[in-house]
Amino acid sequence: MSKWQELEARYFMTTGKRQPVTIVRGKGVKVWDEDGKEYLDFVAGIAVNSLGHCHPVVRKALSGQASKLIHVSNIFYHIPQIQLAELLVQNSCMERAYFVNSGAEANEGAVKLARKYGKLHLSGAYAIITAMDSFHGRTLAMVAATGQPKYQEPFTPLPEGFVNVEFNSIEAIMEATNEKTCAVMLEPVQGEGGVNVPNDSYLKQVRAWCDERGLLLIMDEIQTGIGRLGTLFGYQQFGVEPDIMTLGKGLAGGFPIGALLAKETASVFKPGDHGSTFGGNPLACAVGYETLKFILEKDVVSNVSRLGDHLKQSFNKLKATFPFITEVRGRGLLMALQFNGEIAADVVKTCLEGGLLLNPVKPDAIRFMPPLVVKKAEVDKAISILTSALEKVAKDKKLM
């Protein structure tokens, strides 16, 4: 362990397992550790660093806004917040926006909005249907919403009002719906659950069912939004429009922010219903605005679509070579390799040694989520490192 890792072990509250590298600098798709070793970063802060590390647009927005105004209360107007709200509304199917500090807070706000809607329009209905293998955040309510028992069991009893059902099954949603149901909350593609892509008709069926029963459809786009799937928002991939959408992660290129957006009919908050001390502060909103404006003006989503196709083709070639790769799944630059055994940690460790940062999203699956501005040469280099790692793990574990 390095000095910094020893200090972390002494002072930091351990909540997860870190990979054994201390990152001190980043530029674009590359990062460097304390010893000067270079890595390709295909984790990107867990789909956060949408423009890569220390992009000039992000740096300029941070320094420029920090020299003018960093924080004021939401009891006053300020320009960056209004600019970002306008840009999001103009480029989505939404009509209202509100800003918070994280994706979990955005989802909390969405749940409050849906419950308020239920009180006003659905005879007090409050329950929200979510999917198994979903991930909606780490607050106590969002742990209840998240359909993964491993996150729920340490913290029971959980807040009531959430029903977890099978993903990609309209029948499961229909069966779970009753007079207490006010909304369905889904990720267009499940990120933390293993990059699970629904069939093309699923979200259309959910939309139709919500319309039939008068329910709200909430799309958690915290990981899939802002270009990650090859369209600006994930819902655009499936031909549906949600009533409420949440954003976070890549919205401000690495700076903490979350967003709650809604159509006018679902925007039922009144003064005093919701609030945030730091949410929507000038610094976060200025960075979010400039990041989103750059993504739109430079058509970054086209790069995501093009490089996502190239990444998938490369993965399919690996699948044909290594029989223990059982599935390639994902869209755009949110992809996963599925293995027929729990070797993800071994592959990730070997890739780390070779200069590639990856995420073992499950014991038998690896997630790939590079910055949206990644270049073909960087993808090809990552594939080369990954190929060598797969060969080594296959040899060590006698998989071929």
pLDDT in tens, 257-280: 999 999 999 999 999 999 999 999
Distances (CA, A) of 20 to 84, 210, 304: 37, 46, 29
Digit-coded pLDDT (tens) for 350-395 = 999 999 999 999 999 999 999 999 999 999 999 999 999 999 999 9
Q: In the annotation, is 294 catalytic? A: no
Predicted TM-score of the model (pTM) = 0.97
- Equal CATH topology for 3-54+299-396 and 56-297: no
Answer yes or no: are the C-beta atoms of 369 and 46 closer than 8 Å: yes
pLDDT of residue 1: 75
Instruction: Name the 3-class secondary structure at 290.
Output: helix
Q: In the annotation, is 133 catalytic? A: no
State in words which class domain 56-297 has: alpha beta
Instruction: Give 310: exposed, middle or buried? Use CB within 10 Å, 0-12, 13-18, 19+.
Output: middle
Q: In the annotation, is 162 catalytic? A: no
Name the residue among 61, 77, 139, 57 with its Cα closest to residue 105: 139
17 φψ region: left (φ > 0), alpha (ψ -120 to 50), beta (else): beta
**How many CA atoms lie within 13 Å of 182's alpha carbon, on the beta-carbon side?**
22
Residue 194: other Cβ atoms inside 10 A = 19
**Strand order of the sheet with strand 127-131?**
96-100, 258-262, 244-247, 216-220, 181-186, 127-131, 162-165
Could you say which of 41, 42, 99, 135 is catalytic?
135
Query: For residue 93, what are its two tokens?
Result: 């199917």
Could you say which of 41, 220, 243, 346 is catalytic?
220
CA dihedral 225, 49, 329, 227 (to 10 degrees): 30
Query: For residue 237, what are its two tokens?
Result: 């991939």
Answer yes or no: are the C-beta atoms of 324 and 399 closer than 8 Å: yes
What does the alpha-carbon distance between residue 105 and residue 100 come to, in Å, rounded to a whole number?
6
Low-confidence stretches of the chain (pLDDT < 70) are none
Can you give the residue ranges of every domain in the chain?
3-54+299-396, 56-297
Answer yes or no: are the C-beta atoms of 292 and 116 closer than 8 Å: no
Answer yes or no: are the C-beta atoms of 365 and 339 closer than 8 Å: yes
The domain made up of 3-54+299-396 is a member of CATH 3.50.30.40: no
pLDDT of residue 366: 98
Could you say which of 116, 238, 243, 249 is catalytic?
249
Digit-coded pLDDT (tens) for 202-223 = 999 999 999 999 999 999 999 9
pLDDT of residue 230: 98
